[in-house]
Amino acid sequence: MSNPTVLFVCVHNAGRSQMAAGYLQALAGDRIDVLSAGSQPKDQVNPVAVDAMREEGIDIADNAPKLLTVDAVMESDVVITMGCGDACPIFPGKRYEDWQLDDPAGQDAATVRRIRDEIRHRVEILIGELTPPA
């Protein structure tokens, strides 16, 4: 049986979705495949988000924001949106969740850390739901 694939989507694919993808890769290892994308991707990942994740020992500095494609949604089992509203195409048979999280863009480090910690909490719950206990 193949791994479940999770797609994280936010508008710019520069903050929340990158942090979530970083956590899921670090915490789930090879048990879950991870994608992230944005409906209007920025040219680089938010440096404050990169720093906040580095504090957790997770390096997302080399990640590049990607444009959300229909293919990415089609190949995903779980699609988690973060404030991208109707930009995400909806397909039957997929699990969709919308995580209400503040956008870290333009926020100070303390605010971004709070968002990061909330993302980690939600990712840990998601891993528990998607993977059988070891």
Full set of structural domains in the chain with CATH: 5-129 (3.40.50.2300)
Q: What's the CA gap between 15 and 92, in Å, rounded? A: 28
| 1-29 confidence digits (pLDDT tens) | 689 999 999 989 999 999 999 999 999 99
Three-state DSSP state, 24: helix
| 58-94 confidence digits (pLDDT tens) | 999 999 999 999 999 999 999 999 976 666 667 788 9
Q: SS3 for 48-74, per residue? A: HHHHHHHCCCCCCCCCCCCECCHHHHH
Q: What's the CA gap between 58 and 23, in Å, rounded? A: 7
Tell me the whole-structure pTM to 2 decimals: 0.93
Phi and psi at residue 109, in whole multiples of 5°?
-60, -40
- Positions annotated as catalytic residues are 10, 84, 88
Share of the chain above pLDDT 70, in %: 93
